Chains A and B, each alone.
Chain A
């Protein structure tokens, strides 16, 4: 229900490419309306003005990769009534979580001139590994229609329509011809959560998992199928090691195919 007081919004950035918070600025049609119904209280990418917290809604982008950020996220949580993570970095560690699979000892010879000046955690981890998250919006990047949907749902006190089912359902609703059945592509759609608009298949490309694992993903069966159709384990492993490599289901499957 709209109330007289506009809820206060804050946007926070951790390790990320900025694309997800940029999605908010990319809502060209809605941006001014958003500003009418929500007080944009703390959004450094857009404004130098900062309104003090606490914030009714915090959008958190990026993963935790430094000791400092591991502390900062707790402060953000304390300042936020409702905390929504946006994007693959924040919900699964992002592309930078690829480091989580590396052997740190192999990294040491590559360390550059003054490594002691930089403190980085071994792993890039999602926000929910550190603090309680009220809602996670998936995607690398998030879909801006879904972002507006989450904001609308928040403002109207309803559950956002961001179904956890497969990309396939979204894909077939659009009438897109399946690239897996039809072109034998190594499509991650059947194990990936919908939300992007089943974009890749509509461009005759296989899904590469930007939205992370769907609910109850059967990654094992999909890999088996690929494997029986000649795909090498190294390639299967790489397929799951994308922008949601550290999401549980993808991580497990890639590790199983790593040998």
Chain B
């Protein structure tokens, strides 16, 4: 990591019980705190009232098509990998009313729905999800016609990130260069250290507001040993990724793979249920639904998460452009790992592994991609 002293504060160290003071500060600053908590047998994102709501003593076991909440004996707050939820739920909500309209005579008038966006502080954000946030920013904020409601929600966000030292069985952020170390886009980053009975946090502010908040936590200066410990733990995490993906030349290789036979094989397994797109922290596709009341006087426009795995997604008069399951899986994967690069200058994948864990039949993006890359030399032409 290259420290950027101008923005970043000095590393400091604090006791686990002082994490509560962070919560207190956030509440004082009128933030609603969103973070990991145990609910419905999973570590999900939810509103946290205090550190007691954090999943202390809980971890998870993840593999293709499987997530299991598990107990562990250590006192850590953040000893788990990505859960089923991501920041997307909050910044790009699954269902938003954009406006309402009401009829008057021949005409009608449109009233914009004022988007509520309170101040949200996310606690425990991993590097993968921060990269996903950066990607959503590119999609919704960077273009010539940005999404105003996204921008509004985004502007009121505070990020307390956590360096990931417990990658899961489906993680591959290391391959995507999106983790496990938090390197940008945070207000405060924490590393939780627990060994041989010593349990403490190393923190560092990454923004002005982060610095203000950090200052309120009882702390001492972090020693060079502490910092080395952080470094070691992150390096260790890098070697414990459950999955990996070779990204060199990935885009070009995939552009050549449109007619690869593997798509057909995957399509036989793919349920085209859309789970991967729903749990993906960067999948942003959405649809508009126009609804009316019975009297026909009131109408509303809703924006809802959509998935490229449906036939409606590509429907134009006369039929669906992507009617085969093969073409839909291909669209998704090539979008994530190739066309996304052309559109937004980055992969659409951050290596969080959610699509692998939550695929009901365990289809593995890294495995599919590897299979295509491996035999691409024999494959047929596609896009150059």
In the complex, A173 has a CB within 8 A of chain B: yes
In the complex, B175 has a CB within 8 A of chain A: no
B295, B304, B312: the one contacting A173 at CB < 8 Å is: B304
Alpha-carbon separation in the docked complex, A175 to B310 (Å): 19
In the complex, B357 has a CB within 8 A of chain A: yes
In the complex, B7 has a CB within 8 A of chain A: no
Alpha-carbon separation in the docked complex, A129 to B42 (Å): 44
In the complex, A34 has a CB within 8 A of chain B: yes
B39, B272, B295, B304: the one contacting A218 at CB < 8 Å is: B272
> Contact flags (1/0) for A114-133 with B, using CB distance below 8 Å?
00000000000000000000
Are B271 and A191 within 8 A (Cβ)? yes
Enumerate 18 A-B pairs (CB-CB under 8 Å) in ascending A order: A33-B295, A164-B310, A164-B311, A166-B271, A168-B275, A168-B360, A175-B44, A178-B358, A181-B275, A189-B273, A190-B275, A204-B41, A214-B273, A216-B272, A217-B271, A218-B268, A220-B268, A224-B361
Q: Which residue of A lies closest to B69 (CB)?
A: A182
Residues of B within 8 A of A (CB): 39-42, 44, 65-69, 84-85, 89, 94-95, 268-275, 278-279, 289-296, 304-307, 309-312, 325, 357-362
Q: Which residue of B lies closest to A153 (CB)?
A: B292
Alpha-carbon separation in the docked complex, A177 to B354 (Å): 12
Q: Whole-angstrom distance from the CB of B293 to the nearest CB of chain A?
A: 6
In the complex, A44 has a CB within 8 A of chain B: no
In the complex, A169 has a CB within 8 A of chain B: yes
Are B65 and A181 within 8 A (Cβ)? yes
Within 8 A of B (CB), among A25-60: 30, 33-34, 36-37
Are B360 and A218 within 8 A (Cβ)? no
Q: Which residue of B lies closest to A159 (CB)?
A: B290
Q: Which residue of B lies closest to A180 (CB)?
A: B360
* A180-B360, A218-B270, A221-B269 known; A173+B278 contact, CB < 8 A: yes
Residues of A contacting B291 with CB < 8 Å?
Answer: 149, 152, 161
Q: Which residue of A lies closest to B267 (CB)?
A: A218
* A168-B273, A182-B41, A221-B361 known; A161+B289 contact, CB < 8 A: yes
Alpha-carbon separation in the docked complex, A222 to B307 (Å): 19
Are A169 and B274 within 8 A (Cβ)? yes
Q: Whole-angstrom distance from the CB of B110 to the nearest CB of chain A?
A: 16
Q: Which residue of B lies closest to A2 (CB)?
A: B296
Are B307 and A174 within 8 A (Cβ)? no
In the complex, A151 has a CB within 8 A of chain B: yes
Residues of A within 8 A of B (CB): 1-2, 30, 33-34, 36-37, 148-149, 151-153, 155-156, 158, 161, 163-166, 168-169, 172-178, 180-184, 187, 189-191, 204, 214-218, 220-222, 224-225
What is the number of contacts between chain A and chain B, taking CB atoms within 8 Å? Answer: 145
Alpha-carbon separation in the docked complex, A30 to B292 (Å): 13
Residues of B contacting A33 with CB < 8 Å?
Answer: 293-295
Are B357 and A166 within 8 A (Cβ)? no
Q: Which residue of B lies closest to A203 (CB)?
A: B40
Are B312 and A182 within 8 A (Cβ)? no
* A30-B294, A177-B44, A181-B66 known; A225+B360 contact, CB < 8 A: yes
Are A169 and B44 within 8 A (Cβ)? no
Q: Which residue of A lies closest to B66 (CB)?
A: A181
A2, A172, A218: the one contacting B279 at CB < 8 Å is: A172
Alpha-carbon separation in the docked complex, A218 to B42 (Å): 27
Are B294 and A163 within 8 A (Cβ)? no
Q: Which residue of B lies closest to A178 (CB)?
A: B358
Q: Which residue of B lies closest to A157 (CB)?
A: B296
Residues of A contacting B312 with CB < 8 Å?
Answer: 163-165
Alpha-carbon separation in the docked complex, A153 to B95 (Å): 20
Q: Whole-angstrom distance from the CB of B98 to the nearest CB of chain A?
A: 15
* A156-B296, A175-B94, A177-B42 known; A169+B273 contact, CB < 8 A: yes
Alpha-carbon separation in the docked complex, A225 to B66 (Å): 12
Are B289 and A218 within 8 A (Cβ)? no
Residues of B contacting A204 with CB < 8 Å?
Answer: 40-41
Q: Which residue of A lies closest to B41 (CB)?
A: A182
Residues of A contacting B271 with CB < 8 Å?
Answer: 166, 190-191, 217-218, 221-222
